[in-house]
Structure 1
């Protein structure tokens, strides 16, 4: 990294507030949920992919149609066989570069830059359990950021409506039952920015709150719960559409007590989150997820402030965290406290270490998360759909090294971030 992190944050923040440019890339190996194509090109303008293909003459015509001269090498990006994928989409992450998304406007800018630098072009900002007034203030910060920059998709509340027995690294003093008044207070503070909220459905008002949030356009997620199979099914039938980091902070699979996981797996309406860092979920279970929930497994990071940072002491909300060998645990009780994962690394692990197909790995980091909120089609939040490389989709693009799956160049809505 030749630039300082401070300069990167400044440059990315400025780029996202600026106007999109014209993009013409050729000679790439395209990988997205629809498959792999070689000798691929893409032309974009005004933040939208206009043309794609493999024919050289068609590429020249496409360039001219957006005002680019195909003979002018300074206008054309030669991919030279690099991978061209959609920008990664993380629907569950808390921070990076020593900042959390709970740390105010500047904290959001810094933490987002850490993920954007590694190819995560769109992100749902996860907020940790805190006192209700703090969570409301943090929601308002996310709402304001959505007006400033296209990469912020909205907020995810991981709490405060979690089971005490499955609280993980969440502050037990702040956990609540989701009574209607609290739901209304959070929805009012969010002002339309709340995308998902993790709820333990077995709480006294768990199912009614799932219905209440779903009616308001939020996607409730079953997680951090002590629910059994039947209760989880009731949660999904009530309107929950996501399982928060499957396998973690919930009852596991058992042949006589199946728990909530089979309820999510058998329900085609449900997207299952998966943390592929080799620590939260063992590799055979990651591979299993792709087999029993194909096209519905979304890589998420659950990344906290220590992401892309050295080991040491950090904070998760008000709680102290130690990071050793890249693994975050609470100082108080040793509970896992989020991850230090990047989606770039999750995709790399899937392809290079686990043998998951590039198409499936990229889909898990792009289209699956977009589809969970309807962002794979035109919508009020992103405008243009995201998650694929196709005409009409937003120009969220990555050029990646095919040998190492290391992200090089990054565009979000036609804006060059790296």
Structure 2
């Protein structure tokens, strides 16, 4: 059983590493990232071997193939992970960037500059690529990271962290650490390490995120739950709408930016739904529809209240007919998770109104929800997709892993009354 002292020990070491890492120049951090990428490639076989054990145990436990896909690593995937690390190295370093600055009337020079957050804890499920993505982004932004992946990926994460730490020579190895233990206690102790850990970022399903938000004494950035919607407007190009819907649902169903609900304007339902349902059937999608949608097929499952708020992460899709754009927005506001919503329309006024009314981290106009992604946005690998409104919202890249401090320079200035 993991003890509190074991977790606090890695947190203390991370805090010391963060202090040493924060002032390092970009060149040193970039060199460390390239060394990590080289080590991942050189030791790819042992990483894949460790992962194979995790995958075998997941299959024995009856884990769905969608979740196994998230868990699995191959030589090709390790190559892509290493390439993502190199891409992070190529990005501008946010540390030291001036957010704003000016000279006050009294002659004092004031600058607000970006600084690292400090120690970042990541609690995540089943995706060992997150282990490397998180380490690369935190190191580049001058932060130390404490990684607590799921027990299902434990051997993979142990191997990945050991490879990354072995590559760190000019930066403190304790800037990248795995939180010890597979049990729930290790997560609990991490969530209570206020004063040693500056922020926690949970990545996973709703139960994980809610648990961290409700139980943690460390500040939390909420990420990830994706009940994403595609709204097909009355003025949609129907061929485009079918293509976008199929891509948003089926391109990779097990991720948070996959579409989980389609809303169809009633004026085009009779033309759109037969085409869309046929295309979805060909991809093996099970549609959970309201009464209007069920009129278009005996194989459509009756949607329940739970379906409208469900993040399926599978080849399931909720579907409803709505009477207006405003009704679609009301549905999204009631059931959505504020992640990503898409409108398909040829009407610019409709697009503008949808964008103005929808309160989500990302809104797509005539594009798949699958584009809400740090790499697709040009940020490099992301630390997560924030669905809250404080500090960071949407895909979190390097700038979102910094805070700021004010630097005030004077010439013997003294404050009077």
Which structure's residues are more often helix, by fraction? 2
Q: Name which one, 1 or 2, has greater alpha-carbon Rg.
A: 2
Which structure's residues are more often strand, by fraction? 1
TM-score of the alignment, normalized to the shorter chain, above 0.5: no
| TM-score, normalised relative to structure 2 | 0.28
| TM-score, normalised relative to structure 1 | 0.28
